[in-house]
């Protein structure tokens, strides 16, 4: 089974581009981030006409996550247990944002999540604290699930808005005092791995980066970041065989500022849904 994750930076703007990517690379499951639309504005028909099943979580024109799959999606969840909410005003209700959607794929027992981790904005902003709490809650979910069943198959995919290592940014000096590279963020990412969700894309892909800002000709200069990942439970780690970052998708008119990350898994239960 081929599973990809991609922050598309507006699904309605890039519907045809996403469809072409799905079909060109024979993607089985695509986890999408930043759809930037409410549920009733998502282009379901375009994907369903092409033979895909879709689950989407979007409340307005910000955030938004989706799963697009060749196989039926079961047990769909639009948030994970303990997921915190956010409002810039601490006195207002802290509502859950459209940042997580998970489902079981086809007849398998594999649970795939599309995740758009909060950006954090500035280290002095409440959003930074929210980002850390969000990651802690995700860690707790993984840890609890694997405590219940050590062989459970969970795949966390998406835009994590963290560069876990110094080499994951083109120039660490540019990020002095900024989010994405702070020790608390990196520690939170490490906690996910310690809970049992191992990052698998780095060892399988050759490309150094997955994101290049639109500003200052970052892509042309090779000034990128590695912030898009797939984290797998131990049982799925064994089944990850190959991967690549489709850097070509960052080229050309109308490209997202992120490139898709693709991983191939080999497993008997995946074979059953082909």
Whether residue 28 is annotated as binding a ligand: the answer is: no
Which of 52, 141, 159, 228 is an active site residue?
Answer: 159
Which of 53, 56, 116, 141 is an active site residue?
Answer: 116
Whether residue 258 is annotated as binding a ligand: the answer is: yes
Whether residue 60 is annotated as binding a ligand: the answer is: no
Is residue 116 among the annotated active site residues? Answer: yes
Query: 3-state class of 52 per DSSP?
Result: coil
Whether residue 74 is annotated as binding a ligand: the answer is: no
Identify which of 58, 145, 53 has the alpha carbon closest to the alpha carbon of residue 100: 58
262 contacts 25 by C-beta, under 8 angstroms: yes
Structure tokens at 13: 């703007």
Which of 53, 56, 180, 258 is an active site residue?
Answer: 258
Any idea which residue has 């499951």 for tokens?
29
Is residue 246 among the annotated active site residues? Answer: no
Is residue 159 among the annotated active site residues? Answer: yes
Strand partners of residue 6: 32
Neighbours of 76 (CB within 10 A): 14
Whether residue 20 is annotated as binding a ligand: the answer is: no
Whether residue 206 is annotated as binding a ligand: the answer is: no
Binding-site annotation, residues for Mg(2+): 7, 34, 159, 161, 257-258
- Residues forming the active site: 116, 159, 258
- Residues annotated within the binding site are 7, 34, 159, 161, 257-258
């Amino acid at each position: 089974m081929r599973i990809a994750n991609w922050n598309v930076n507006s699904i309605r703007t890039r519907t045809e581009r996403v469809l072409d990517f799905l079909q060109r690379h024979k993607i089985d499951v695509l986890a999408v981030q930043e759809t930037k639309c409410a549920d009733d504005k998502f282009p379901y028909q375009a994907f369903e006409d092409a033979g895909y099943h879709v689950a989407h979580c979007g409340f307005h024109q910000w955030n938004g996550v989706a799963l697009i799959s060749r196989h039926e999606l079961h047990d769909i969840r639009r948030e994970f247990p303990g997921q915190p909410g956010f409002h810039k005003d601490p006195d207002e209700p802290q509502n859950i944002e459209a940042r997580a959607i998970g489902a079981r794929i086809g007849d398998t027992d594999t649970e795939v999540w599309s995740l758009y981790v909060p950006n954090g904005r500035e280290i002095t902003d409440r959003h930074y604290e929210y980002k850390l709490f969000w990651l802690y809650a995700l860690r707790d979910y993984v840890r609890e699930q694997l405590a219940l069943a050590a062989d459970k198959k969970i795949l966390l995919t998406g835009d994590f808005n963290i560069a876990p290592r110094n080499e994951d940014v083109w120039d660490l000096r540019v990020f002095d005092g900024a989010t994405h590279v702070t020790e608390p963020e990196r520690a939170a990412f490490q906690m996910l791995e310690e809970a049992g969700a191992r990052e698998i894309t780095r060892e399988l892909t050759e490309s150094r980066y997955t994101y290049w800002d639109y500003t200052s000709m970052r892509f042309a200069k090779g000034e990128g970041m590695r912030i898009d990942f797939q984290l797998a439970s131990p049982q799925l780690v064994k089944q990850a065989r190959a991967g690549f970052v489709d850097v070509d998708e960052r080229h050309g008119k109308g490209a997202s500022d992120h490139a898709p990350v693709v991983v191939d898994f080999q497993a008997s239960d995946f074979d059953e849904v082909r």
